[in-house]
């Protein structure tokens, strides 16, 4: 077995029974025979383990070979201690071996005459002490030539522990105990007042009478030791024992199984004794609880039972690591004399178990040690190196190192069991904090891919390529070719990258060639998925065309060619295949690339494709209507149905008549009248004048395919021949249309007779007469209706719009003619007459009221005055208040347009009436007379500014004065001039004497 050999085996529920008849013969067997039996046992257990899911161990193990292996072949280990610098091993020959952590011998110390029972190493690693069955304690100084200190207690010793400050203090204290049952504290004592130290002296901490001292451990000021009665803790500072932990009452005899003590920290002690584990936590009393002469500390103890014997105990993070000893279960027959029935139970492999605080086993590893079946629990020992989490297990012939498994160990364990996916995931997660020291992510990923391919899991391998190969172009190309050689390109194609990284065009074209020969649908999907810039499109087109020549009806290949031609900038060729395939995007293709010249001879193909799409739309509409009608509780939504004229091909032709002429389309659709009707109908909807030369043809098409819209077309169009249209309608006996056409041709009487005789529809006849507005036609209708009660009633009910005298109609009704409903009709006529009379009377009243109101408004407007502040003549621009020449008051004329003038400036022909008086009661009367005289002139004065369209007076004034005209503010007596005006703002024309 080499140095790194794994020595663990998972615990199994089955343990085989060897055919051993004599216990004494079994103990005398050679070790080689024992190892042979061991291997046979392992084989049987492995078979059982195959059916059990294997859990990963928490620790990794290494049997230390080197020098220690050779040394233990000649001797047997009996004690173990581990420090931060080295490992010390005691043997049954009384030797102390100082080893490095790999088992190489550094020093060989031999001073004892019997087995070494315990070893203690000082914290700094400078001193090492050993206790032996020869009753001696020997303290070695490792780094100087000082002779070992030997202390002989003349009774077999079981344990020893050094003061943690042994190297610092001159007292150099240690504590030891053994078969005498006495616990001795040894230290140097002062003998002179000048500070020199004298001889060593012992202080007895525990007197005899409670059995041998089997274990002792010193941590800080606390010393924990065990005898047959239990575990006690002594505080060296206060020199008092602070607690006594009794041995569990139902535990095995104390002399059969050694007590194992380990300090977890300064205040926590782990105790493993037989099949019990105890945890003791030292705590301080509160100040008010401390009693004089009593310890200031107390201990809380928790205990739980195990199913095994504890051979060693150590802390492991927040859990506990236990070295477990187990034996076979033998059902003994006490009445038989067969020695086989009285043999000692055979030991199983020792186990390292990790137990949490709830006494739950987290991990269990069985150790394969040489001769384990012959050893007892006290033959094993466990010690650890806290800062590195290194645990050492010693048996008489083996020294094993146990360490927590790291990332590399975890990955190795997974790889050994072909759990590559878990290993890869663990390694990827570990990249955030440094990754692995051994494994490379890419290399491990490729190992995983190779494993999947060996297992023929090609799809899974392809799925993992993206996260393993990432953006490594060379690796991608390598693995694509691997899949190609395995004929599994279809598995990896969807994962092949085309950006970051972009591979060689050869790779992509190789994929196309593979699908072209094996899977055309995959070829189409790949062409539409990959951008055309990553491969040579023309090369792929040539490959596809070679195959398409042999399979002309292969629609998938046609789709491939349509896509490839579109990519290569040849939309006209792509259009041909798109039309044959009836692809919905063909219309966008035509508009985007203006391919009207390419489709001008493919109109029929376009219309057929359009009808195919229209049928699918109709099916979808019917399905939606049926779905909505299934639940009557829901509100019914009105679905707008699509028409054939709304489809894309029709609209494309209609919107682009400048590229594809109407006549060219009609020639191609002549043999398909339904398609021709759809096209011409859409054209007519868009523009009534477009395609006018085909309106005669449209009449026949409407009559055949859309009769409901024929009358609308006849009313809207002026480009068809009336005689031709009438002939078509007459052939098909389309009476309403014939009536309309006869009316347009002027044959009103014949049209009326057609309505009366063929349609027998009085309302239509009346509407027709109203439309023509012909008195002769009304007379014909009246004459024809006299012997038809239905028509008489109809005329009476429509007198409001009919050009018929109701008295004439009533008087011409033959006497004795029985007319059903005549009474009600006459009553309605009278009611209508009364209603008309009431309306006329009401309208007259409204008219009179409005006239009076407007007259009053006019009167108020003419009676109001005008404010003339800062008012100037619009001709001479001088103030109108005085005549600047004579310095006298002048007569002013102001028009309703608010322009003001001096009378002398306005009337320049020299004929002026006498001015009005300037004072007295006759002032108003004189103004009225003066105004009357002005209006009586042959040419009454008018505003020259308002009657001049070019406003030359205003322009001259503005040019002269440089100021805009000031508006005149009017007012009405008794009202605020800023309020609403009742004359629409018209000022009166009143001459003023100012």
Place 801 in a pLDDT band, splitting at 50, 70 and 90.
Answer: low
Summarize the confidence of residues 199-216 as an average pLDDT.
Answer: 84
Strand bridging mode 351-355 / 319-325: antiparallel
Distance CA 600, CA 590 (A): 11
Q: Among 404-413, 449-458, 776-785, whose mean pLDDT is lowest?
A: 776-785
pLDDT of residue 980: 43
3-state secondary structure string across 776-838: HHHHHHHHHHCCCHHHHHHHHHCCCCCCCCHHHHHHCCCCCCCCCCHHHHHHHHHHHHHHHHH
Strand bridging mode 183-190 / 174-178: antiparallel
Q: Is 623 left (phi over 0), alpha (psi -120 to 50) or beta?
A: alpha
Strand bridging mode 970-971 / 900-902: unpaired
Q: Could you tell me if 365 and 61 are in contact, meaning their C-beta atoms sit under 8 angstroms apart? A: yes
Write the CA distances from 356 to 106, 160, 318, 383, integer angstroms: 37, 30, 7, 19
pLDDT of residue 952: 61
Tokens coding 406: 């790291």
pLDDT of residue 817: 65
| Distance, first Cα to last Cα, the chain | 143
pLDDT tens figures, 567-611: 888 887 888 788 788 777 777 778 877 878 877 888 888 888 888
Q: Give the 3-state secondary structure percentages of the chain, helix then strand then coil, rounded to 5.
A: 40, 20, 40
pLDDT at 963 over 50: no
Mean pLDDT of the chain: 80
Q: pTM to 2 decimals?
A: 0.54
Cβ neighbours around 397 below 10 Å, total: 18
pLDDT tens figures, 830-878: 777 777 788 888 898 899 999 999 988 888 876 777 666 667 888 888 8
Place 508 in a pLDDT band, splitting at 50, 70 and 90.
Answer: very high
More confident residue, 43 or 139: 139
pLDDT of residue 463: 93
pLDDT of residue 903: 80
pLDDT of residue 792: 65
Place 193 in a pLDDT band, splitting at 50, 70 and 90.
Answer: very low
pLDDT at 50 over 50: no
pLDDT of residue 962: 52
More confident residue, 825 or 672: 672
pLDDT at 566 over 80: yes
Place 87 in a pLDDT band, splitting at 50, 70 and 90.
Answer: very high
pLDDT of residue 730: 85
Q: How many CA atoms lie within 13 A of 86 on its CB side?
A: 22
pLDDT tens figures, 340-397: 555 567 889 999 999 988 888 888 999 989 889 889 999 999 999 888 889 999 999 9
pLDDT tens figures, 608-655: 888 888 888 888 877 777 777 776 666 656 667 778 888 888 888 888
pLDDT of residue 632: 65
Phi, psi of 153 (to 5 degrees): -100, 0
pLDDT of residue 793: 66
Residue of 768, 767, 814 lying closest to 792 (CA atoms): 814
Place 37 in a pLDDT band, splitting at 50, 70 and 90.
Answer: very low
pLDDT of residue 606: 84
Tokens coding 297: 């500390």
pLDDT at 946 over 60: yes
More confident residue, 425 or 812: 425
Residue of 457, 455, 520, 508 lying closest to 484 (CA atoms): 508
Place 807 in a pLDDT band, splitting at 50, 70 and 90.
Answer: low
pLDDT of residue 773: 66
pLDDT at 321 over 80: yes
**For the chain, percent of residues with pLDDT exceeding 90:** 31
Q: Is 29 left (phi over 0), alpha (psi -120 to 50) or beta?
A: beta
pLDDT tens figures, 418-443: 999 999 999 988 888 888 888 998 99
pLDDT tens figures, 131-151: 999 999 999 998 888 889 999
Summarize the confidence of residues 708-720 as an average pLDDT.
Answer: 89
Tokens coding 812: 């011409």
pLDDT tens figures, 509-546: 999 999 999 899 999 999 999 999 999 999 999 999 99
3-state secondary structure string across 626-664: HHHHCCCCCCCCCCCCCCHHHCHHHHHHHHCCCCCCHHH
Distance CA 459, CA 466 (A): 12
């Amino acid at each position: 077995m080499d140095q790194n050999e794994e020595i663990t085996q998972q615990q199994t529920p089955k343990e085989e029974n060897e055919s051993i008849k004599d216990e004494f013969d079994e103990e005398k067997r050679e070790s080689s025979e024992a190892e042979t039996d061991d291997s046979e046992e392992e084989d049987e257990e492995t078979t059982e383990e195959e059916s059990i899911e294997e859990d990963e161990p928490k620790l990794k193990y290494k049997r230390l070979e080197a020098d220690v292996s050779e040394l233990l072949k000649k001797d047997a280990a009996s004690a173990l201690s581990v420090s931060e610098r080295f490992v010390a091993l005691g043997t049954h020959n009384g030797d102390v071996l100082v080893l490095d952590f790999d088992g190489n011998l550094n020093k060989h110390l031999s001073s004892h005459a019997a087995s070494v029972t315990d070893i203690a190493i000082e914290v700094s690693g400078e001193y090492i002490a050993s206790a032996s069955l020869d009753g001696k304690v020997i303290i070695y100084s490792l780094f100087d030539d000082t002779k070992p200190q030997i202390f002989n207690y003349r009774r077999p010793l079981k344990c020893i522990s050094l003061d943690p400050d042994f190297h610092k203090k001159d007292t150099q204290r240690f504590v030891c105990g053994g078969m005498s049952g006495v616990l001795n504290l040894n230290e140097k004592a002062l003998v002179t007042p000048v500070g020199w130290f004298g001889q060593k002296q012992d202080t007895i901490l525990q007197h005899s009478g409670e059995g041998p001292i089997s274990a002792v451990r010193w941590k800080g000021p606390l010393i924990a030791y065990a005898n047959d009665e239990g575990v006690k803790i002594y505080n060296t500072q206060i020199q008092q024992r602070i607690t006594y932990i009794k041995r569990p009452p139902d535990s095995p005899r104390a002399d059969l199984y050694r007590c194992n003590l380990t300090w977890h920290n300064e205040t926590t002690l782990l105790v493993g004794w037989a099949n019990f584990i105890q945890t003791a936590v030292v705590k301080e009393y509160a100040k008010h609880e401390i009693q004089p002469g009593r310890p200031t500390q107390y201990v809380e103890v928790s205990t739980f039972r195990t199913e095994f014997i504890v051979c060693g105990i150590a802390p492991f993070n927040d859990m506990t690591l236990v070295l477990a000893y187990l034996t076979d279960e033998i059902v003994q027959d006490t009445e038989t004399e067969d020695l086989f029935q009285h043999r000692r139970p055979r030991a199983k492999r020792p186990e390292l178990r990790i137990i949490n605080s709830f006494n739950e086993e987290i991990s269990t590893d069985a150790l394969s040690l040489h001769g384990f079946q012959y050893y007892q629990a006290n033959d094993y020992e466990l010690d650890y190196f806290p800062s590195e989490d290194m645990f050492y297990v010693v048996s008489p012939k083996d020294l094993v190192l146990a360490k927590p498994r790291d990332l590399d160990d975890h990955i190795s364990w997974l790889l050994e069991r072909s759990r590559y996916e878990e290993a890869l995931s663990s390694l990827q997660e570990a990249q955030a904090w440094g990754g692995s020291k051994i494994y490379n992510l890419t290399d491990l990923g490729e190992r995983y891919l190779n494993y999947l391919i060996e297992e023929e899991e090609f799809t899974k391998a392809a799925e993992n390529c993206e996260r393993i190969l990432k953006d490594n172009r060379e690796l991608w190309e390598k693995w694509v070719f691997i899949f190609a050689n395995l004929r599994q390109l279809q598995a990896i194609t969807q994962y092949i990258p085309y950006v970051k990284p972009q591979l060689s065009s050869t790779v992509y074209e190789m994929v196309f060639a593979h699908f072209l020969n094996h899977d055309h649908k995959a070829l189409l999907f790949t062409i539409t998925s990959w951008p055309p810039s990553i491969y040579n499109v023309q090369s792929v087109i040539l490959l596809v065309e070679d195959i398409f020549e042999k399979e002309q009806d292969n629609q998938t290949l046609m789709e491939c060619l349509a896509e490839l031609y579109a990519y290569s900038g040849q939309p006209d060729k792509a259009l041909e295949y798109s039309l044959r395939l009836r692809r919905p995007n063909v219309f966008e293709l035509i508009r985007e690339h203006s391919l009207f010249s390419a489709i001008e001879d493919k109109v029929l193909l376009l219309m057929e494709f359009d009808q195919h799409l229209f049928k699918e739309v109709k099916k979808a509409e019917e399905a939606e209507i049926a779905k909505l009608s299934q639940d009557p509780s829901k509100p019914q939504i009105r679905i707008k149905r699509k028409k054939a004229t709304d489809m894309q091909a029709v609209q494309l032709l209609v919107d682009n008549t400048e590229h594809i002429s109407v006549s060219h389309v009609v020639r191609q659709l002549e043999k398909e009248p339904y398609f021709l009707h759809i096209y011409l109908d859409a054209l007519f909807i868009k523009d009534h004048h477009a395609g006018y030369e085909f309106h005669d043809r449209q009449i026949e098409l409407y009559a055949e395919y859309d009769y409901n819209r024929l009358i609308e077309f006849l009313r809207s169009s002026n480009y068809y021949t009336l005689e031709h249209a009438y002939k078509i309608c007459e052939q098909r006996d389309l009476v309403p249309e014939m009536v309309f056409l006869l009316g347009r041709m002027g044959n009103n009487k014949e049209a009326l007779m057609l309505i009366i005789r063929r349609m027998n529809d009085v309302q239509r006849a009346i509407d027709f007469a109203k439309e023509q507005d012909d008195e002769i036609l009304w007379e014909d209708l009246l004459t024809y209706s006299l012997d038809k009660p239905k028509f008489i009633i109809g005329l009476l009910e429509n007198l409001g719009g009919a050009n018929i005298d109701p008295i004439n109609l009533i008087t011409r009704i033959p006497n004795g003619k029985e007319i059903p409903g005549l009474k009600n009709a006459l009553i309605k006529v009278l009611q209508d007459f009364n209603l008309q009379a009431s309306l006329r009377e009401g309208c007259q009243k409204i008219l009179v009221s409005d006239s009076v109101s407007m007259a009053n408004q006019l009167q108020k407007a003419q009676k109001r005055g005008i404010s003339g502040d800062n008012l100037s003549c619009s001709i001479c621009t001088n103030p109108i208040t005085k005549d600047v020449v004579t310095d006298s008051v002048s007569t002013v004329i102001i028009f309703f347009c608010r322009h003001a003038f001096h009378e002398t400036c306005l009337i320049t022909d020299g004929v002026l009436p006498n001015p009005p008086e300037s004072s007295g009661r006759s002032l108003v009367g004189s103004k009225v007379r003066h105004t009357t005289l002005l209006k009586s002139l042959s040419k009454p004065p008018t505003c020259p500014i308002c009657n001049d369209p070019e406003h030359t007076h205003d322009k001259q004034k503005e040019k002269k004065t440089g100021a805009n005209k000031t508006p005149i503010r009017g007012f009405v007596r008794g009202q605020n001039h800023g309020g609403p005006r009742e004359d629409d703002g018209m000022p009166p024309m009143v001459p003023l004497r100012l």
